[in-house]
């Protein structure tokens, strides 16, 4: 197995619990527009190639033979069309073509060593289709000593492309970029695509109304911390449960293990993918997975913003997710009184977070089923970067609530 990188330095989510230190970090992010995510530039790590077939780390001979075009972010990614050229050492690229995603930007050819992945459950983004990629530096591994919160090696890069149907055709709208430039620093950048699809340049303030897709908004980069700070080391969708669950594809958990790209400080064995599967029936798995990715990963967990109840699926010390009744969703939400009454609730009516057999009095479902009017108090879930209700997720959680019968092992609704 490749060498362990050890535990990464202090992460943004750690600062959340440290009062004044957190305030200082947030202030610096606001000043930077969340684009550089740090006041000082770190030296740009040189990306290294993989085997020619893109299947894994290159050996020494392959590395020596590789040309500049084989290195993401180098050579072939110079921005054409009169735009400023890419700069060596630039840790906050203005143009997507300077991030290393493409070896040939004009042809949209993905660079060697950049691997596509698709998690089994996806964050709702107002109906946008998404494609994701990750680049890991040559010889580096992801430290999974804490299986619920992976620590990535310096030089890791991730991209997420969003597409929407516009005038009857699928059009690239935005691409989001994460780049770990130092042990405790991530670049987070958002690139808006031109209407003709020829270029994508960074937009720090977001785009409230995308031309051709007025109901879709690109969020401001300063908002990224509200979700990504909920993870110890920033990435949200590249994690054990989402990559091990059935339905994941591309670079999955099983392939990461097979290729020796995961390691622990103890050097102990890694959990089998089957032990990390979302538990329960098909109805339970669907609802638990959607709540995990849309609510639990970034907010509703012990180190998140919303700690009063939890919706993240957790892996225990033995490397197992366990059964449905062992999940924190079951333990902290079912038959637990909602602290905030839903809008328009009649006086005296009881609402639980999740109330068995009673979706109309389940506050989580009601919050998922609404979107806040402009300027109104935030009551919708997820709370940002969405203007449309995820009808499929609402239907999935409703089906789960309606299946919470005593015969299936659930308690009766609270009096």
Instruction: Return mean pLDDT, the chain.
Output: 79
CB 314 within 8 A of CB 290: no
Give yes or no: residues 299 and 214 share one domain: no
Report the pLDDT averaged over residues 173-177: 95
pLDDT of residue 367 exceeding 80: yes
Per-residue tokens: 108: 């949209």
Give yes or no: residues 242 and 344 share one domain: no
Distance (Å, whole) CA 238 – CA 260: 16
Give yes or no: residues 157 and 29 share one domain: yes
In this predicted model, what pLDDT tens digit does every residue of 1-34 receive, in sequence order? 333 333 333 333 333 333 333 333 333 333 333 3
Give yes or no: residues 157 and 95 share one domain: yes
Q: In the 8-state DSSP scheme, what is residue 292?
A: I
Reported pTM = 0.77
Distance (Å, whole) CA 311 – CA 353: 11
Give yes or no: residues 331 and 387 share one domain: yes
Residues of the chain above pLDDT 70, percent: 76
The answer to whether residue 151 is domain-embedded is: yes
Distance (Å, whole) CA 323 – CA 315: 11
Q: H or E segment at 258?
A: helix 253-258
Give yes or no: residues 139 and 244 share one domain: yes
Among residues 230, 263, 296, which one ends one of the domains?
263
The answer to whether residue 413 is domain-embedded is: no
The answer to whether residue 166 is domain-embedded is: yes
In this predicted model, what pLDDT tens digit does every residue of 32-46 receive, in sequence order? 333 333 333 333 333
In this predicted model, what pLDDT tens digit does every residue of 236-268 receive, in sequence order? 889 999 999 999 999 999 999 999 999 999 888
The answer to whether residue 365 is domain-embedded is: yes
Distance (Å, whole) CA 20 – CA 336: 33
Strands 200-202 and 109-110: unpaired
Give yes or no: residues 335 and 207 share one domain: no
pLDDT of residue 157 exceeding 90: yes
H helix intervals, 42-94: 60-65
The answer to whether residue 3 is domain-embedded is: no
pLDDT of residue 311 exceeding 60: yes
What domain count does the chain have? Answer: 2
């Amino acid at each position: 197995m490749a060498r362990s990188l050890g535990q990464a330095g202090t992460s943004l989510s750690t600062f959340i619990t440290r009062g004044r230190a957190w305030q200082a970090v947030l202030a610096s992010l606001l000043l930077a527009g969340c684009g550089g995510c740090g006041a000082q530039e770190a030296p740009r790590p040189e990306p290294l190639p993989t085997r020619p077939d893109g299947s894994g780390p290159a050996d020494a001979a392959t590395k020596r033979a590789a040309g500049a075009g084989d290195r993401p972010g180098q050579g072939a990614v110079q921005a054409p069309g009169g735009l400023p050229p890419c700069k060596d050492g630039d840790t906050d690229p203005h143009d997507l073509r300077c991030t290393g995603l493409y070896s040939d930007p004009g042809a949209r050819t993905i660079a060697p060593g950049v691997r596509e992945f698709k998690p089994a459950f996806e964050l709702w983004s107002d109906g946008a289709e998404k494609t994701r990629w990750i680049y890991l530096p040559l010889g580096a591994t992801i430290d999974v000593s804490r299986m619920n919160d992976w620590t990535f090696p310096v030089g890791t890069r991730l991209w997420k492309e969003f597409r929407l149907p516009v005038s009857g055709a699928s059009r690239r709208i935005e691409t989001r970029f994460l780049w770990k430039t130092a042990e405790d620093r991530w670049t987070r950048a958002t690139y808006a695509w031109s209407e003709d699809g020829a270029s994508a340049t960074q937009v720090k303030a977001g785009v409230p109304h995308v031309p051709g897709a007025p109901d879709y908004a690109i969020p401001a980069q300063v908002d990224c911390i509200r979700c990504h700070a909920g993870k110890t080391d920033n990435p949200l969708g590249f994690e054990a449960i989402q990559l091990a669950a059935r339905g994941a594809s591309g670079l999955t958990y099983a392939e990461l293990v097979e290729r020796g790209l995961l390691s622990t400080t103890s050097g102990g064995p890694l959990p089998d993918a089957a032990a990390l599967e979302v538990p329960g029936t098909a109805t339970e798995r669907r609802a638990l997975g959607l709540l995990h990715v849309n609510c639990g990963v970034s907010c509703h967990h012990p180190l998140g913003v919303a700690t009063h109840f939890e919706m993240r699926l957790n892996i225990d010390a033995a490397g197992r997710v366990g059964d449905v009744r062992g999940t924190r969703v079951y333990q902290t939400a079912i038959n637990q009184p909602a602290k905030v009454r839903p809008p328009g609730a009649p006086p005296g009516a009881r609402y639980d977070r999740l109330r068995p057999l009673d979706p109309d009095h389940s506050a989580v479902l009601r919050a998922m089923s609404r979107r806040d009017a402009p300027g109104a108090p935030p009551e919708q879930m997820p709370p940002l970067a969405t203007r449309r209700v995820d009808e499929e997720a609402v239907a999935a959680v409703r089906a789960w609530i309606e299946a919470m019968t005593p015969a299936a092992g659930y308690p009766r609704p609270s009096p």
